Amino acid sequence: MDKKSVVGRFAPTPSGRMHLGNVFAALVAWLSVRSRGGELVLRMEDLDTQRTSEEYADLLREDLRWLGLDWDRETPPQSQRSKVYDGYFELLREKGLLYPCYCTRSQLHNVNAPHLSDGTYVYAGTCRNLQIPPPGRAPAWRVMVPNREFSLRDLAQGEFRQNLTTDCGDFVVRRADGVYVYQLAVTVDDGEAGVTEVVRGMDLLGSAPRQMYLQELFGFPHPTYGHVPMLLAPDGRRLSKRDRDLDLGQLRLRMTPEALIGTLAFSAGLTDTNAPISAKELAGEFSWERLKKEDIYLNSL
């Protein structure tokens, strides 16, 4: 089999019906890859087994098909990969980069400043040199970060830089209950699947430097990143999972996939008119230059 040069991916979390933000990110990921004849990988991100289910995974696949967004292969869901993640965790341990962290949620909240806009904080390294661990508590595990800037040229957002020490701090890779965190799982899964292009929502731009750092440690090349802008309702409200009327379960009752894609594409600057269009037709005229760079106000649906 000849190896395709561009490999993109969908990495949905099956914790509910797809909402418009997910649809938009998936559409752009698909367009970017298919407009260049590349390959797409689907992966269910179901690390949080309390919130995710196989029923939602089936609905996600079914919604993607309805939209006309196909994929070439599906890799195993994250919930089945903890043995694989163990190996990469050991690699970090061998490199001497891991340490146990016993901080409680309230300690983390009170000690670590400043809080970043996305609700996270810069970890002050409290447990880095802990001599005597508190008894009777299982630790989370953190990876030490270098005092170095990671930079990327994002397809949608342009230049983005982050110093992992001053902007993030040592971060958790395995929780106290033994579950691996998103940052580790996503890096391993994208790396092993040979993903060369990661397209997803703008809310994950701040995660890219942590993933780039882990890619270096695990020996994976950096992919190209494209973080698509957030969708806003016509009145400027942020769309969220709470807007049940805008999830695909509801939208599919009253719209064709072409009408939905047409509205998304027009709102995002990808087409000149708000007319129905299929994903396939849109791929013929897709370019990252046309995509709006700021928050996208959605035309009414």
Is residue 11 a contact point for ligand GLU (CB under 6 A)? yes
Q: Which of 8, 12, 209, 262 forms a contact with ligand GLU (CB under 6 A)?
A: 12
Which of positions 165-194 make contact with ligand GLU (CB under 6 A)?
186
Residue corresponding to tokens 């340490």: 99
Q: What is the three-class DSSP state of 178? A: coil
Which of 38, 56, 54, 45 lies closest to 12, judged by CA? 45
Which of positions 26-65 make contact with ligand GLU (CB under 6 A)?
45
Nearest approach, Cβ of 13 to ligand GLU (angstroms)?
A: 4
Q: How many other C-beta atoms lie within 10 A of the C-beta of residue 138?
A: 10
* Closer CB to ligand GLU, 12 or 191, in the complex: 12
Q: How many residues bind ligand GLU (CB under 6 A)?
A: 7
* Closer CB to ligand GLU, 18 or 143, in the complex: 18
Is residue 215 a contact point for ligand GLU (CB under 6 A)? no
Specify whether the CB–CB gap between 10 and 42 falls below 8 A: yes
Helix (H) or strand (E) run with residue 65 in it: helix 54-67
What residues contact residue 35 under an 8 Å CB cut-off, 6+ apart? 283, 284, 286, 287
Nearest approach, Cβ of 276 to ligand GLU (angstroms)?
A: 27
Is residue 196 a contact point for ligand GLU (CB under 6 A)? no
Paired with 75 in beta bridges are 43
The residues that touch ligand GLU, with contacts defined as CB under 6 A, are 11-13, 45, 186, 200, 204
